[in-house]
């Protein structure tokens, strides 16, 4: 199974956003087979899967708002880089030390949220999480 990282595509299935848990029930849109998809196989916005019954490939998307997606992505970023981000931000060196990680997280947000993925939603999540203020042009 692959992590799903783009907007679009038909024939997808939706799952509730309890993705961090032990798993979620998924139904194949082609044959209707139901099975438990382990939560660890899902990225912040879903996954590409293949039905073990009929072999059909489809996307499992997590339902939720763009704000919820931003929080899930930042949860993952926190797990890997939280202490480093807080330290760099406190030293005024956030982008020189953590720029690639923050940009990668923002790119993931834009891919997952699609057209509704306004940058302000992600900026607000950064401000709430780490107190990071990103100014827009004057």
> Could you tell me how far CA 96 lies from the centroid of its own chain?
24
Per-residue pLDDT of 114-132, as tens digits, reads 766 788 889 999 999 988 8
Domain boundaries defined on the chain: 2-62, 66-130
Per-residue pLDDT of 32-47, as tens digits, reads 999 888 877 777 667 8
The dihedrals phi and psi of 95, each to the nearest 5 degrees, come to -80, -30
pTM of the full predicted structure?
A: 0.57
Strands 57-62 and 46-50: antiparallel
């Amino acid at each position: 199974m692959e992590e799903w990282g783009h907007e679009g595509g038909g024939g997808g299935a939706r799952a509730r956003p309890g993705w961090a848990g032990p798993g979620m029930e998924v139904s194949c849109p082609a044959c209707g087979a139901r099975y438990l998809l382990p939560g660890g196989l899902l990225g912040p916005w879903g996954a590409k899967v293949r039905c073990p019954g009929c072999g059909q490939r489809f996307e499992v998307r997590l339902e939720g708002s763009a704000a919820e997606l931003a929080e899930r992505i930042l949860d993952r970023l926190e797990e890997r880089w939280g202490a480093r981000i807080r330290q760099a931000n406190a030293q005024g060196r956030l982008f020189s030390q953590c720029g690639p990680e923050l940009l990668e997280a923002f790119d993931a947000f834009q891919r997952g949220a699609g057209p509704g993925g306004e940058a302000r939603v992600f900026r607000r999540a950064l401000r709430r999480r780490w107190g990071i203020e990103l100014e827009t042009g004057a």
